[in-house]
Amino acid sequence: MITYTLGWFLFLIVFLMGFGMLIFLSLFIGYWLTLVSIEQINPKLAHKIIGHKEKE
């Protein structure tokens, strides 16, 4: 019984870590593609969003 419970918790932990990574990557790639498209259309706005500062 204890191995069944430990196996279930191990599966749950691995599954939730994978699902969390999937959510993170999907949000990050969406953010990245949005910034790339904004930079193509309006570079000044994209630099303002990411906090880019020109060298003096």
Domain positions in the chain: 20-56
The pLDDT value recorded for residue 16 is 97
pTM for this predicted structure: 0.61
Per residue in 8-56, pLDDT (tens digit) is 999 999 999 999 999 999 999 998 998 899 989 998 888 888 888 877 6
What values do phi and psi take at 54, rounded to 5?
-70, 150
The pLDDT value given to residue 56: 66
Cβ-contact 52, 37 below 8 angstroms? no
Q: What is the pLDDT of residue 24?
A: 95
CB of 22 closer than 8 Å to CB of 29: no
How far is 5 from 18, CA to CA, in rounded Å? 20
CA 13, distance to chain mean position in Å, is 19
